[in-house]
Chain A
């Protein structure tokens, strides 16, 4: 089960760490991440007031890590949610109904798939506003096609199985077949893909911020990397620590995803 799975436990521990850092720590470390508190480019360990050093204008890197996580996680999670909701709805409808519906929805999916994702997201963000909400929506809108294709493939496979026929024979309507019969059986690969999506979304947000399209009013890990990208050679700490934070978060999410897949599979439950 979930608890017995080693990688799931490691993932949970890491996730707890990340959540503690971003949700609890800000209360204990009330330094505004935008305040200039020191001289520029002080390396970590230089002074006890700035344990992880300062960036190119003298902002506290540790304050950025602690206060910037919330925005990164929020954007990552909501973008992943949008991706999964759009992807599963479109994939499920295409796979279940087939025919004309499938044809239309798959052409739409292909249309979104051939658009260069980062470029398209950049267009969306610069067209509307550079706010966290827009960024999350933009990431969601460009990343759903793989989820939709995966969902469709699972639905195509599962809808032909006997137990779907049997469910029809007890009087289940289409809505019920889609959500209560087929989707639960299609979940394992979708969960893996959803957790990967959270990771990708966090990286995507970092990428947008790096390109200067992040929300400039809210500190995030990606924004920190973006600010300091020109000083990588002189001040490795200002980009390495937020990068590390992103890495640990993405890793913990995918470990949890792996564990969930095993936990949700009844066949592995009593082994």
Chain B
């Protein structure tokens, strides 16, 4: 296997809160090879978005603090890079698409202007060239009549259109990695499908690697090649998408998969009850010594409550659960 594009190892991020120090990322490590798609799933507050912000080094500090670990992009450690170097990387080599297309665009500038802005910032093109680039990018993300659209303002576009513009901004400089943080959560299902198709298509054409952050298992099945499951700031399971979806080992992963509503061909009057994972993600300041999932787990034993399980297994499939300790 060639050297990975992105490699995280033992990344730790802490937040100082009123109730003490919250460890929002705890020994997070995974790698992503060039041109592939990695999905990160988990409930809200599990550290998915924090992982993305940490890679971009955009964790608000204070109250946050990157306490340790290494993040390598093509061999370069991002956690020790200078702030100036990080600004070169952001938007140029690693870019990010946010969850809320309605509010992620600056309302007082035209969309063409905002795409051009990114290109000019990083590639020193003239205004004219940058606007030409913006037209190309809008065409690439499937916006019809791009020459006219570049003059429009965000409020004139629909949610799906705005997310396309965000993706155009993300890809304008031809980054090696695109982090999409719940890119479709705020959109209609039909538009969601379009955005996924667009991302898949763009990935194939440009070779950009993608990290897809979502809580939607359907999106994972659609897009990802490898999946990382996070819970309370830790990785609890990691593996190829077909293994994670087909043969999940961690009770939390199984729970997440069982939560997905099924579309039945002939809905009968008595419907299959939806399973849910009882309880909530625990407060990160109140984690005990044991496995963070133990209080919600049906299989929890005394050992689970005493000691946190390590993330173990081969390169292909790793899981942090005492049930599967060999």
Contacts and interface: CB of A to CB of B under 8 A. Distances in A.
- The answer to whether A and B assemble together is yes
Interface of A: 161-163, 165-173, 181, 184-185, 187, 264, 266-267, 269-270
B104 A162 contact: yes
Interface string B115-141: 001100110000000000000000000
8 contacts: A163-B105, A169-B90, A170-B117, A171-B91, A172-B121, A173-B87, A187-B108, A267-B153
A179 to B, nearest CB: 13
Q: Which 3 A-B pairs have the closest CB atoms?
A: A170-B91, A171-B90, A162-B103
Contacts of A166: 96, 98, 104-106, 166, 169
Contact of A162 (B98, B108, B169): B98
Interface in B168-207: 169
Interface residues of B, number: 29
Contacts of A169: 56, 58, 90-91, 95-96, 98
A169 B170 CA distance: 9
B76 interface: no
A163 B103 contact: yes
Contact of B155 (A167, A264, A266): A266
Interface string B88-113: 11111001101010011111110000
A45 B121 CA distance: 66
Interface string B154-171: 011000000000100100
A90 B81 CA distance: 31
A265 B153 CA distance: 11
**SS class, residues of chain A in contact with chain B:** helix
Given A162-B104, A166-B166, A169-B58, A267 B155 contact: yes
Nearest to A168: B58
B108 A266 contact: yes
A185 B58 contact: no
B235 to A, nearest CB: 23
B116 to A, nearest CB: 12
Nearest to B90: A171
A256 to B, nearest CB: 20
A171 B105 contact: no
Contacts of B166: 166
B170 to A, nearest CB: 8
A184 B90 contact: no
A171 B92 contact: yes
A167 B95 CA distance: 11
Contacts of B105: 163, 166
**Which of A161, A163, A169, A172 has the most chain B CB within a 10 Å cutoff?**
A169
Given A162-B104, A169-B98, 6 more contacts: A163-B106, A170-B90, A170-B95, A171-B86, A184-B108, A267-B153
A83 B95 CA distance: 39
A184 B109 contact: yes
Contacts of B86: 171
Contacts of B117: 170
Interface string B41-68: 0000000000000001010000000000
Nearest to A173: B87
Given A169-B90, A171-B88, A172-B121, A185 B95 contact: no
Given A170-B169, A171-B88, A267-B155, A181 B106 contact: yes
B58 A165 contact: yes
A138 B103 CA distance: 42
B3 to A, nearest CB: 25
Nearest to A265: B108
Contacts of A181: 106
A170 B118 CA distance: 6
Contacts of B104: 162-163, 165-166
Interface in B307-321: none
A102 to B, nearest CB: 14
A205 B252 CA distance: 72
B4 to A, nearest CB: 22
A166 to B, nearest CB: 5
A211 to B, nearest CB: 43
Nearest to B105: A163
Interface in B255-293: none
B106 A185 contact: yes
Nearest to A163: B106
Interface string B70-92: 00000000000000001111111
A167 B92 CA distance: 12
A267 B121 contact: no
A270 B155 CA distance: 11
Contacts of B58: 165, 168-169
